[in-house]
Amino acid sequence: MSLDTAATKPHERLAEALSSEMDQVNALIRTRMASEHAPRIPEVTAHLVEAGGKRLRPMLTLATAKMCGYEGPYHVHLAATVEFIHTATLLHDDVVDESSQRRGRPTANLLWDNQSSVLVGDYLFARSFQLMVEAGSLRVLDILSNAAATIAEGEVLQLTAARNLATDEDVYLRVILGKTAALFSAATEVGGVIAGQPEAVSDALFQYGEALGVAFQIVDDYLDYAGTDATGKNVGDDFRERKLTLPVIKAVAVADAEERAFWVRTIEKGNQEEGDLDHALALIGRHGTLAATKAEAVAWADRAKAALDALPEHEIRTMLVDLADYVVLRIR
Amino acid sequence: MSLDTAATKPHERLAEALSSEMDQVNALIRTRMASEHAPRIPEVTAHLVEAGGKRLRPMLTLATAKMCGYEGPYHVHLAATVEFIHTATLLHDDVVDESSQRRGRPTANLLWDNQSSVLVGDYLFARSFQLMVEAGSLRVLDILSNAAATIAEGEVLQLTAARNLATDEDVYLRVILGKTAALFSAATEVGGVIAGQPEAVSDALFQYGEALGVAFQIVDDYLDYAGTDATGKNVGDDFRERKLTLPVIKAVAVADAEERAFWVRTIEKGNQEEGDLDHALALIGRHGTLAATKAEAVAWADRAKAALDALPEHEIRTMLVDLADYVVLRIR
């Protein structure tokens, strides 16, 4: 790290500090997404893996392993594992949400079909476990299989909570602890575990990853209503899909009778008309729930930073602290 | 085992010999399919798990572990693992095939929705890995994660091979080695591995499971054209879904120009009319491909039995030999 890069974004600084390891991760991903007999598999996977995501999750594993002084080869396997699990869940999510766009490109379920997305997701999930087994740590396998179960549980909960105005902030938090934070926390924790760190350290890394993941998802849900062009997201996707996220949950909680009738019609009954998104945005504005949502994201980012307080000074630690700030900076 | 049960079917004799272990497996399955936060998960799982399947795959794990003298508790975990992987693949298969019936009952994707089937399948898959991790054997984890990847690979290959008249017997075999035989062979192999058997034994158990699985699937595909009421299958499902299975692959291979045009229209183009299934059955009859398919199933069952030759005499071994015979006896 030279001083003249100090102004770049923290995930870019992490990518720079970990560039040789990330190259190994990318090479391993390319090798392991192959299939001798079923060329459809690498086609579908490449579409997603090479779409130019930030690789935030595998980078977190590399970062925590490096910060903990790990010198073996298996953080690369675990980082690839984390990215495969993430990719598998994206493939399945797009089927579940019937999405047609991700990261500004058509989704795999649109380019191929739902069948391919389901089965290639299953393949990547199995491949992720093969990679973990190679790393040879039962504790890591335990952490990541628990995370995989928690992710799926959060997704199912989201499915049953959607379109249901009874979904409150507790349910919302449980959903995002599962669908988003579980993989962040597993990614950061296994970096410490593979480096043989004591439980106090791996726990702190878990706490950091979990809080970062929650902040990240709250910001995502915030941007879905407040979005800017820079995010590449369409404002109102969650509204149209009748998902209950924090800005709406908070608005429903203080709705008067007329407002409640609006949410019942648009979210519960799905009877949406032109102008409804604008009215939803007006209600959200009236009750200041975007500001309140932002405050929660900031609080979780602060929790993420606090979890790192117990750990010794390290240039990577500084980047992880900055990353927590940056995640919520996106919305300022 | 008393003599007066000698006339019962081999899987029933296995179920009797392993009844206390199967009770433990069923109890473990019920415990682990629970979810504190997402009640949809046990609802969907129970629909499938309690539909009264024969539990053939977990029974194979219990059988081989017992035959190998295993006295620990973890064969129960591995048997439940195998059933969870099987259940997860059934949930995803029914989404992929757009099926509405399984084992004579409506499928989960029909009763709930595709979303639930995809996500609950993911949950069970993750749960299966948690169970394996508890068993604490990296070699078992290796075997079962390889099997999971091979299953998904076989399913993707089936997807791309469907509707394609170029699909030959080699491709067909590769598909069923993946989608069916991989879980059978993993189920039998891990029973020997958990019992600490030498590789010669676990290899023989793998060979048995693989050949049994191939025989089982060929018989399934045979019955789809030859079916009787006893099987609960509808004749012609594979034809309507334009899947290329052995009876048709063999008929296509010897088709004259007119017959080939028929297969192109019905399977490749999917332009099916009333009477087409009857015509397909007539072509299959004309070329004797059902008999040839049956002969292949018998040959694979013989291979399964031969794999057990190297193993010492045991009452369970006798039942496994009989099971291989019984699998193809279904079609006589």
Residue B271 dihedral angles phi and psi, to the nearest 5°: -95, 80
CB atoms B92 and A118 under 8 Å = yes
CB atoms B126 and A141 under 8 Å = no
User: How much is the pLDDT for B231?
Assistant: 53
Say whether pLDDT at B1 is over 50: no
What is the band of A183 on the pLDDT scale with cuts at 50, 70, 90? Answer: very high
Average pLDDT over residues A46-67: 89
- Give chain A's contact residues with B (Cβ, < 8 Å): 35, 37-41, 89, 92, 95-96, 114-116, 118-123, 125-127, 129-130, 132-133, 136, 138, 141-142, 145-146, 148-149, 151-153, 155-157, 159-160, 174, 178
What type of residue sits at position A232?
G
Question: Does residue B2 form part of some domain?
Answer: no
Q: Closest by alpha carbon to B75, among B89, B90, B65?
A: B65
CB atoms A114 and B114 under 8 Å = yes
CB atoms B133 and A138 under 8 Å = yes
Higher pLDDT pick, B331 / B173: B173
Number of structural domains found in chain B: 1
Higher pLDDT pick, B34 / A173: A173
Average pLDDT over residues A122-142: 95
pLDDT digits (tens, 9 = 90+) for A254-308: 999 999 999 999 999 999 999 999 999 999 999 999 999 999 999 999 999 999 9
Question: Does residue A245 form part of some domain?
Answer: yes
User: How much is the pLDDT for B80?
Assistant: 96
Rounded CA separation B258/B264 (Å): 10
- Give chain B's contact residues with A (Cβ, < 8 Å): 35, 37-41, 89, 92, 95-96, 114-116, 118-123, 125-127, 129-130, 132-133, 136, 138, 141-142, 145-146, 148-149, 151-153, 155-157, 159-160, 174, 178
Rounded CA separation B146/B143 (Å): 5
- Within 13 A of A27's CA, how many CA atoms are on the CB side? 7
Rounded CA separation B260/B253 (Å): 9
Q: For chain A, what percent of residues have pLDDT higher than 70?
A: 95
Rounded CA separation B123/A182 (Å): 14
User: How much is the pLDDT for A169?
Assistant: 97
Question: Does residue B99 form part of some domain?
Answer: yes
**Cα angle B195, B13, B85; round to 5:** 55
Average pLDDT over residues A132-161: 95
In B, minimum Cα distance to A126 occurs at B149
DSSP string, B53-103: ---HHHHHHHHHHHHTT--SSHHHHHHHHHHHHHHHHHHHHHHHTT--EET
Question: Does residue A2 form part of some domain?
Answer: no
Cβ-in-10-Å burial (0-12, 13-18, 19+) of B266 comes to buried
Q: Closest by alpha carbon to A161, among A252, A225, A277?
A: A252
User: How much is the pLDDT for B48?
Assistant: 78
- Average per-residue pLDDT for chain A: 91
Q: Do B129 and A145 form a contact (C-beta atoms < 8 A)?
A: yes
Rounded CA separation B179/B151 (Å): 4
- Tokens 């007066």 belong to residue: B4
Rounded CA separation A208/A143 (Å): 15
Q: Do A35 and B156 form a contact (C-beta atoms < 8 A)?
A: yes
What is the band of A228 on the pLDDT scale with cuts at 50, 70, 90? Answer: low
Residue B102 dihedral angles phi and psi, to the nearest 5°: -145, 135
Chain A CB contacts of B89 under 8 Å are: 122
What is the band of B113 on the pLDDT scale with cuts at 50, 70, 90? Answer: confident
Please state, in angstroms and as integers, the Cα–Cα distance from residue B216 to each residue in A102, B8, B88, following that order: 41, 19, 19
Average pLDDT over residues A102-124: 85
User: How much is the pLDDT for B330?
Assistant: 77
Say whether pLDDT at B51 is over 90: no
All residues at 6 or more sequence positions from B295 whose CB lies less than 8 Å from its CB, including other chains: none
Rounded CA separation B74/B65 (Å): 10
Say whether pLDDT at B210 is over 80: yes
User: How much is the pLDDT for B3?
Assistant: 43
Say whether pLDDT at A233 is over 90: no
Residue A270 dihedral angles phi and psi, to the nearest 5°: 70, 25
Please state, in angstroms and as integers, the Cα–Cα distance from residue A71 to each residue in A14, A22, A138, B149, B202, following that order: 18, 15, 19, 29, 35
- Tokens 């990318």 belong to residue: A26
What three-state secondary structure class fits B154? Answer: helix
Higher pLDDT pick, B192 / A54: B192
Cβ-in-10-Å burial (0-12, 13-18, 19+) of B133 comes to buried
Q: Closest by alpha carbon to A25, among A66, A51, A62?
A: A62
Radius of gyration over every alpha carbon of chain A, rounded to an integer in angstroms: 20
CATH number at residue A98: 1.10.600.10
Question: Does residue A146 form part of some domain?
Answer: yes
Q: Exposure pattern of A315-332 as b/e (b: 16+ CB <10 Å)?
A: ebbebbbbbbebbbebbe
- Average per-residue pLDDT for chain B: 91
Q: For residue B37, what is the DSSP state?
A: S
Question: Does residue A1 form part of some domain?
Answer: no
Which residue range is the domain that position B300 belongs to? 8-329
CB atoms A92 and B133 under 8 Å = no
What three-state secondary structure class fits B310? Answer: coil
All residues at 6 or more sequence positions from B287 whose CB lies less than 8 Å from its CB, including other chains: B250, B251, B254
Q: Do B238 and B245 form a contact (C-beta atoms < 8 A)?
A: yes
CB atoms A152 and B120 under 8 Å = yes
ipTM over the 0.90 cut-off: yes
Question: Does residue A147 form part of some domain?
Answer: yes
Average pLDDT over residues A76-105: 88
In B, minimum Cα distance to A175 occurs at B37
Rounded CA separation B264/B126 (Å): 41
